[in-house]
Each structure stands twice: as C-alpha cells, then as structure tokens.
Structure 1
Amino acid sequence: MWIKDGKKIFDTGFTHQDVTYPPGWIALASDEERAAVGISYRPDPARPDPRLGTVEEKEDGSYTLTPYPLGQVIAQQIERIDARAEAIYRRWTRFEAEYRARAAAAQAFKDAGYKGDPGIYVTSFATPTGITLRAATDLILSQALALQVAQDRLAGLRMRKYEVARLTAAEEALAVTDAICAEMDTVEREID
C-alpha cells in the first residue's frame, strides 16, 4: 500500500482502487475485506487485529478480542499463502500453452543459428514490436527464463506455509504470513 498526501493506492489482487481519503483511512469497507487482502493496518492502533479473533468495541471505546483457536488462525494463514500463490500462478499461466510454444520455437530458431524459418510464434512477436527476429528470439527466451525463475521462487515461498504450520503463536503466524505474501508480491511485480 502506498500513501501520499492522503491518497492511497491499493492492489487487492483483483482490482486496483485509486481513491482519495483523509490520512488514516482504508478504502476497504470492513475488517474482513482488509484481512482478506492481507492489510493489517488498523486506523486505531488499540484495535486488535481482526485476523486473530472477533473484535468488539465497548461503549467506552476500548476493544475486546475473543481469539480464534490457534489452529484456526494457522489454517487461515496457510490458506492465505496458497490463495496468493494461486492468484499469481493464474495470471502467469493464462496463456501457458502459447508461452511454451513460443519459447520452444525461439529455442529452435536460436539452435539453428538464427537462420531459416523462425515460425509463427517468433514472427508474430517480432513484427508488431518492430524488432528483429534475432532480438525477438532472445527476448522470448529471456522472458521464458525469468518466468521459470519466478515460478521456482514462488513455489519455494509457498512451501513456507509449513513453517507457519509449526508456529505456536497466532501473532507470529500472521507476521510470518505477511512477510511471505509480501515476498510473493515482489516476485509477481518482477514479472509484470
């Protein structure tokens, strides 16, 4: 989340919201929405994190937290890690068959010394972008390698859910999951 002069920009994983609010406000309507997208920011620092349990505000303005069982918090955080990875993979694999065919054609053209017919996958990339067949081939292969490296990194991060499963404190499970999801977001941005 970025904040500048009261303007907040959120990426909920589904839509981008660019809304102006006074400083200290969140552009998502409820604690559940904030928790669903992993925003742990709370306008009132005294308010317990709703991912830890049911939060009730008392008449005097203080809060009570009825904590969820540790197993439930951990299960929710593991699901959050899997869901975040799934959303990223879904974006990356939307045209997976095409990406694989394009990379295979580029590799074959490179293996042939950049001579002969590069095939429709290389040509259809080179022509609209206005680059040479050789440059298109090298770029396709570079992008394919970057995607593979990113997928490998994402897979490793997703497996850290087993680290979360071993934790013995709900707050620590949230903190570790937040860190894992932040790293996943970094990996996703590197490919975009």
Structure 2
Amino acid sequence: MIFFSFPVLETERFRLRELTKEDAPHLYGYFSDEEVVQYYGLEPFTRKEQAEQFVTQIKSGFRNGMMIRWAIINKETGEFLGTVGYHNWNRQHRRAEIGYELKKEVWRKGIMTEVLKTAIPFGFDRLLLNRIGATVRAENISSRQLLRKFRFSEEGILQEYQCYLGEFYDLLMYGLTRSTYEEKTGQKQC
C-alpha cells in the first residue's frame, strides 16, 4: 500500500504525525542520551546533523514504501515525546517490525501503551500486515512487558545481532500474527 499523504493518527491524549525537520532538535535531545539509546541500536548522537539525517532517512523510507514512523505529540501541550513506527516492511510476505522510543522524562506514564493501541491496528488494517515483529534486548524489561501486554510472543534469540558502543548484544525476537490479534479482538480477515 502506498499512501498519497502521510496518515495522521489520534489517540485520546496523543497525535501521531509525520516527522519534520523541525523535530530534529527534539530527536537530538534524547538520541544523544546514552540511557535512551542503549537498547535502540544507535550510538548516541554527537552532532545535531545526525538528527537531521535521521529525519531525512525516515522521510525517504516512507516515500519509498519501506517504512513509516510517526512523531508522538501531546495533544494538550504540543510537546514532542518520541516516535513509533514500522520498518523492514515487506509487502510480499506482509510483515514489518515495529519500533518505538520516548524521551526519558516521560517514561512509565502509559504513553506507549496508548500509542500502540492505535499503531498495531494500523499495521494490520491499513498496512495489511500478517505479522508484526519486534527485536528487544533482554535487559529492556519495560519493552518486553509492553510487547507481552499486546500478546507478542517471544520467539527466540538472535545471537550477537546488535552492535552498540563496540560490543555485540543478543536480541530477543518477538512476533504478533494477524490470527493472534484477531483472536484477541474478535476480528477475522485475510
């Protein structure tokens, strides 16, 4: 599916919209924080240009139909909180991986739970995915609990799959299939 315009999503508290170059300072603010990026697969940003390049890559990935990533905005305050989206999108096999991050100041406030309640159905209903995957470091307990809340299954270990600050780390592979999702929601479709 190719979108003619970027789809904007809404939750009760948040607006999910396209990333813009104006978001680069916010991205730099938390992607330069080692605690935020330690599980992300990126080394901490050291230059503001890296955040601008990140936005450019996301926009290019969307135009090429390879990914979609939203900025998470607090509807009441307009505050930029983080991002969520799909990457490694394979139309033939109807699968993609979901990824997300929040700035540290808003961790553990139920934000990503609320956001995924909208982003996951979008993946199945609008992207027509049959499978949503996620890779997570074992130490990232919060992310693992979040995925389990949405009925993602832990499927195995990807050995030394991620290099961060010169060291290799195993990642756990999680997956959620359409049939499991439909079982939960009562919907059935192909």
Q: What TM-score do you get using the length of structure 1 for normalisation?
A: 0.25
Higher strand residue share:
2
Higher helix residue share:
1
Larger Rg: 1
